[in-house]
């Protein structure tokens, strides 16, 4: 097996279509050339669940402790950075779990950079995608979090008995909020975006 060296590990935080996403970038070099890998957080977490369940469980616990809606990748990353969690070795293990991945990626990228037509087509596709990624997109997860908070604040202010309800009653309230806030929030976001597009 050919020796591989890794460098330039970076974490990228990106907002797309109102959502917030994390991806990891690293360069892998062998004697025949260099490959560039970008792996999204969701894929890395799937890998951790399969190969490093205790690490995945820890990240899941961080997410669960936050409550609210959506993946909350930016918030998870902030907590893990504060705790000096090192993603790089897991990204390397992810790449090396696929035999021949580096050599294959080197060849694919060499072929891509040698083909101006493919490069042009990719730029055109990215340009089209960018036209849909307007600044006025609503962050759905934050919208749902705010909507749930507004409803909870109203309920607690007007129905204080909810704060001392039985655990089963609290669980039922949470279930109602999760299902109904999500449905209502999605409809409201859709309606607001329709108005914005006029």
pLDDT tens, residue by residue, 57-91 = 999 999 999 888 888 999 999 999 999 999 999 99
- Of 58, 57, 51, the C-alpha closest to 97 is 51
Classify the C-alpha dihedral 58-62-64-69 as positive or negative: negative
Q: Give the per-residue pLDDT at 173.
A: 82
Query: Does the pLDDT value for residue 136 go beyond 70?
Result: no
Residue 43 confidence class, pLDDT cut points 50, 70, 90: very high
Tell me how far CA of residue 104 lies from CA of 36, 88, 176, in angstroms: 11, 21, 49
Residue among 99, 105, 114, 84 nearest 39 (CA):
105
For residue 165, what pLDDT is reported?
A: 76
Which of the two residues, 185 and 126, has the higher pLDDT score?
Answer: 185
How many whole angstroms separate alpha carbon 142 and alpha carbon 146? Answer: 6
For residues 32-52, average pLDDT = 93
Structure tokens at 52: 């490093």
Those residues with Cβ within 8 angstroms of residue 42's Cβ, 6 or more apart along the chain or in another chain: 71
Is there a contact between 34 and 26 (Cβ–Cβ < 8 Å)? no
Angstrom distance (rounded) from CA 154 to CA 148 = 10
| Averaged pLDDT for residues 172-198 | 83
168 or 47, which is more confident? 47
């Amino acid at each position: 097996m050919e020796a591989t060296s890794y460098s330039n590990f970076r974490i990228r935080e990106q907002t797309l279509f109102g959502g917030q996403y994390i991806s990891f970038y690293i360069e892998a070099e062998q004697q025949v050339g260099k490959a560039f890998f970008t792996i999204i957080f969701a894929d890395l977490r799937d890998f951790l669940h399969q190969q490093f369940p205790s690490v995945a469980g820890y990240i899941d616990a961080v997410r669960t402790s936050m409550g609210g809606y959506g993946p909350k990748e930016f918030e998870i990353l902030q907590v893990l950075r504060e705790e000096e969690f090192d993603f790089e070795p897991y990204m390397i293990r992810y790449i090396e779990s696929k035999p021949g991945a580096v050599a294959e990626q080197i060849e694919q990228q060499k072929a891509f950079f040698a083909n101006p037509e493919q490069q042009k087509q990719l730029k055109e596709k990215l340009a089209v995608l960018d036209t849909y990624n307007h600044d006025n997109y609503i962050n759905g997860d934050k919208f749902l979090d705010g909507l749930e908070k507004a409803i909870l604040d109203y309920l607690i202010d007007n129905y204080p008995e909810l704060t001392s309800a039985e655990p089963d009653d609290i669980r039922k309230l949470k279930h109602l909020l999760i299902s109904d806030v999500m449905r209502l929030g999605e409809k409201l976001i859709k309606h607001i975006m329709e108005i914005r597009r006029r």
